[in-house]
Amino acid sequence: MDYKNYLSKKSHEEMEKIYREYSGRLNELKKEQEDVFKDFVAQIEKIKLEEIKNRILNSK
């Protein structure tokens, strides 16, 4: 390998490293988004349960 190819290879590797790092950070954001939706659905279920509970209590 000549020096120019070596420089080129080194630059490509560096790019790949940065790209992997940022892809990893983006995946973390996707997980964060997933958690937001999970929490939201849990919140809805909680509210729905509350409503059911209230309806039962009110009907007695």
Residues near another protein, by CB under 8 A: 1-8, 10-12, 14-15, 18-19, 22-23, 25-26, 29-30, 32-33, 36-37, 39-41, 43-44, 47-48
Shortest gap between Cβ of 34 and another protein (angstroms)? 9
| Distance of closest approach, residue 26 Cβ to another protein, in angstroms | 6
- Can you tell me which residue has the tokens 């919140």? 43
Closer of 26 and 60 to another protein (Cβ):
26
Distance (Å, whole) CA 25 – CA 43: 27
CB 13 within 8 A of CB 5: no
Give the C-alpha separation, 25 to 4, whole Å.
32
